[in-house]
Structure 1
Amino acid sequence: MGTILSAARVVTPARVLAPGWVHLEGDRVVAVGEGQPPCGARDALDLGDATLVPGFVDMHVHGGGGASFDAGTADAGAVVAAAHLAHGSTSMVASLVTDTHERMVCAVRELSLLVRDGLLAGVHLEGPWLSPDRSGAHQPGSLVEPRPAAVESLLAAGDPSTGSGRRGAVRMVTLAPELPGGVDAVRQLAASGVVAAIGHTDATYDVARAALDAGATVGTHLFNAMRPLHHREPGPVGALLESAAADVELIADGVHLHPAVLRTAFAAKPGRCVLVTDAMAAAGAEDGDYRLGPMAIEVRGGVARLADTGPGLGAIAGSTLTMDAAVRFAVREAGLPLVDVVHAASTAPARVLGLHDVGALEAGRRADLVVLDEDLEVSRVMRAGAWIG
């Protein structure tokens, strides 16, 4: 009969079951219900006054635990994955910042092996096809226009067994559609089965709409590193908020977005908001000096910024966020409903990435679970039916 976990609250995509239970067989969820658990299970575990949520899915993360995916090595990737797994992220995509084409190809090839082994859910290319006017923490000198051959080369690097990017390790690409060839690159990505995301962009509303019409479906860290919303020129923010088919990333750390902005986005995009960490190496580690790709980063007070930028503060350079902290911020500081926040941290990103096996407490899905205490702190994490740690 497997194992039954019961808790004061079980969060499903539709509602919070209070109390609720989850029935597991091996690495699968076989049933979820409300009230007292059924009798007959071989093993039963009462989690008491806890909240049971699906494992988090982080579709935009660069590093953690002192390591970075940009290193392009299995060892570094394992450190990052372990650091975020401890905070409830049971699935994650390795995000790469802008670098030379050759270095990005090498990193994609190496990380694709971790995707093949199941440690990672895919690779996200954040660059090199970004706007120099909205570069953020990306090396301006390495930003280039998207050329079809270069796009295909990076996609193909994610599937060395076949030499084709179609359904390979690269699951998402962020680009600025206003660049020459940008909208055509969106079409190329969509035709290859890759999620095309609008980000680090100075696009006008019309250009952003053209990119959405061409197949873009995501706004990368909405509001950040993009032309701001203006009442006479809505820009990419207006286009993304207006589009019924587009999902938007949100960094809920209190640094990138004000709580009121989070509430506004959730109200405008019900079911289409995706919490991401955009974490760099200092997530789950200490303040100090780090690197994000080729860029030097200073982390002070948990805030990551570009180093050596002259007088004043450097640009925000990713975050030190973990997904459990994002959930707590969205619930406590922004006052958003727990069911909506968990949807944005698990179900929505899994849907965006085409990960139909994870992201929800539903029969047939992989048994990826996070146990949260009364303060929404992580107590235990299960991945594929096995408790971590």
Structure 2
Amino acid sequence: MSTASLLSSIRQRSGPIDLPVVLAAGTEGAADHPGRTVRLLPDGRLLDHGPLASQPENFTTPGLVDLQVNGFAGVDFNRPGVTPAELDHALVALARTGVTTVLPTVITGAAEQMLATLSSLDAAVQGSRLGPEMVAGYHIEGPFLSTLEGFRGAHDAAHMGPAEIGLIDRLQAAATRPIRLVTLAPEVCGALELTRELVRRGIRVAVGHSAATPDQLAAAVEAGARLATHLGNGLPQQLPKFENPVFWQLAQDGLAAMFIADGIHIPPGALRSLLRAKGLEHSLLVTDAVSAAGPDQAAGLYPFGAETVERAADGTVRVPGAPNLAGSSAEMAAMLRNVMIWAGLPLAEALRLCQLNPLRCLEPEWRFGTDLAQARLVEWKMTDAGPQVRRTHIGPHTVQ
């Protein structure tokens, strides 16, 4: 089907259409997919995953989406000077975990450092091979967060202050791609006013690293906040049994929750309970990955913004000597398998948590293109351990 006939078909129909999976000419294994389809909505969004009910050994789905990535495969997105080649290295590694759409995340720092970081990151995206295809925009996490110990996590309280639109304006001016998501704490001075302005501009707002009370959370939702960043984390180890931000954010029906399903940030049993409480419609997965993440990354020291973090043999990432976690070494495909096992989710429902649900968080500003040549697809092989990525197709690029 040509692009022109595809678009014509979309214009003439009000319902979804099924598209054949099209792999690059000469791609090894292309013959594995006779009759495989993905479904496209009239607005261009890929809707479902083809014939997954029987979970055939080999199948193809739209790619996975990660709204919070601080770095990957040894590359830190939070230090100025990342090169196009380094960014491509990280994006190739992400694609090998099934991720085809990503929001690189810039965390709290001095204003000039955040500006330099985003400017060089954006230049790397423009100059890279995969950046223009995979980077849908940016996530700014901080500096309008709680300064309280435990709540601030690995963020530097010295660079935090009242929430104001001026820094966001300067950050956006430093980048050609849009800021899509901002994480803030609603109790910070000026946070509600900033939330309203960001929402007015079409930027999603998430609650995170926050000690906000139920009333403050309700006010944030009324102002337009719609997400909870890595719910269950960015909190002190010791909290009141029931009167705490985890329960308060779970109780806010207006907040969808992002979870890090690596078994480190949230134990498997707790994750199962949290997913049940929030509901699959309002849950999504993020990695919060840092440069220590990636299938080939060994235990050791890695850069993360102004800090150096240490990946332990068990996959935990911390600032050396600090008790709190500092990002993660999680991989999206592994988290997909985890939720299938820990929460007993069928494949299609597990995929929804790291695909359709995060995409809805980016709408209405951004949608999949309707050109088959720009499709983002992942080939999988079902194994006894769960689905494993075989190849990833991002526009004209194939990664394996």
Q: TM-score, normalised by structure 1?
A: 0.80
Q: After the TM superposition, which residues 163-174 of structure 1 pair with which residues of structure 2 at under 5 Å, given as runs?
A: 168-174=177-183
Deviates more, 1:330-339 or 1:206-215: 330-339
Within 2, Cα distance between the matches of 1:273 and 1:156?
32
Aligned-pair Cα RMSD in Å:
3.2
Contact kept? 1:291, 1:297, Cα under 8 Å: yes
Matched residue, 2:140:
125
Shift, 1:184, TM fit? 1.4
The alpha-carbon deviation at position 363 of structure 1 amounts to 9.8
- Distance of aligned partners of 1:139 and 1:336 in 2 relative to their CA distance in 1, 3 Å threshold: same
Partner of 1:16: none
Whether the aligned pair in 1 keeps the contact of 2:45 and 2:368 (CA below 8 Å) is no
Residue 90 (structure 1) aligned with residue 100 (structure 2)? yes
- Alignment partner, residue 326 of structure 1: 335
Matched, 1:246 2:255: yes
Deviation at 1:32, TM superposition (A): 7.7
Partner of 2:9: none
Matched residue, 2:74: 66
Verify the 8 A CA contact 2:20 2:38 in the aligned structure 1: yes
Q: 2:91 aligns with which of 64, 81, 87?
A: 81
Secondary structure in structure 2 of the residue aligned to 1:352: helix
| 1:22 equivalent among 37, 45, 50 | 37
Q: CA deviation at 1:185?
A: 1.6
Alignment of 1:151-300 (within 5 A): 151-159=168-176, 168-226=177-235, 233-235=243-245, 237-267=246-276, 268-284=278-294, 285-300=297-312
Counterpart-to-counterpart distance in 1, 2:250 and 2:330: 24
Q: CA deviation at 1:218?
A: 0.7
Deviations 1:329-373 (A, max 9, x none): 111233223222100111111110223217xxx997952222222
1:367 matched to 2:375: yes
Contact in 2 for aligned 1:29/1:365 (Cα 8 Å): no
Q: Residue 386 of structure 1: CA displacement?
A: 4.3
**2:399 counterpart of 1:388:** yes
* In structure 2, C-alpha distance between the alignment counterparts of 1:214 and 1:220, rounded to whole Å: 17
**Aligned pairs for 1:131-142 within 5 A:** 131-133=146-148, 134-142=151-159
Contact 2:75 2:291 in 1 (8 A): yes
Q: Is this contact kept in 1: 2:106–2:139, CA < 8 A?
A: yes
Match of 1:106 among 102, 116, 119: 116
Tell me the distance in 2 between the aligned counterparts of 1:125 and 1:105: 11
Which of 308, 314, 324 is residue 315 of structure 1 equivalent to?
A: 324
Which residue of the partner structure matches residue 129 of structure 2? Answer: none
- Describe the shift of the 1:242–1:48 C-alpha distance in structure 2 as closer, same or farther (beyond 3 A): closer
**Count of residue pairs the alignment pairs up:** 349
Query: Structure 2 vs 1, CA of residues 230 and 54 (structure 1 numbering), >3 Å: closer, same or farther?
Result: farther
Deviation at 1:246, TM superposition (A): 2.2
Query: Paired residue for 2:389?
Result: 378
Identity, in percent, stands at 30
Residues 45-99 of structure 1 deviation map (CA, whole Å, 9 limit, x = unaligned): xx96224322000000111111111134343332221211111101101011211
Seen in structure 2, the aligned counterparts of structure 1 residues 365 and 350 have a Cα distance that, compared at 3 Å, is: farther
2:349 alignment partner, one of 340, 351, 374:
340
**Contact 1:67/1:80 (8 A) holds in 2:** yes
- Kindly indicate whether the alpha-carbon contact (under 8 Å) linking 1:97 and 1:138 is maintained by their aligned counterparts in 2: yes
For the 8 Å contact 2:284–2:357, the answer to whether it is kept is yes
TM-score, with length taken from structure 2: 0.78
Q: Deviations over 1:20-64 (max 9, x none)?
A: 721799x998998659xxxxxxxxxxx962243220000001111
Deviation at 1:296, TM superposition (A): 1.9
Counterpart-to-counterpart distance in 1, 2:358 and 2:326: 22
Cα deviation digits, residues 130-188 of structure 1 (max 9, x gap): 111111111222222213322332233334xxxxxxxx521111111111111112112
Change (3 A) 1:32 1:65: closer
Contiguous gaps of at least 5 residues in structure 1: 7-18, 36-46, 160-167
Equivalent-residue separation in structure 2 for 1:207 and 1:28 (angstroms): 34
Q: Kindly provide the amino acid, as one letter, of the partner of residue 353 in structure 2.
A: A
The one-letter amino acid paired with 2:362 is L
Distance in 1 separating the partners of 2:103 and 2:361 = 12
Amino acid at match of 1:122: G
Could you say if the C-alpha distance between residues 34 and 378 of structure 1 is closer, same or farther in structure 2, counting changes exceeding 3 Å? closer
Distance 2:397 2:92 in 1: 14
Distance 1:232 1:244, change over 3 A: closer
Supply the AA of the counterpart residue of 1:273: S
Distance 1:49 1:96, change over 3 A: same
Code of the aligned partner of 2:94: H
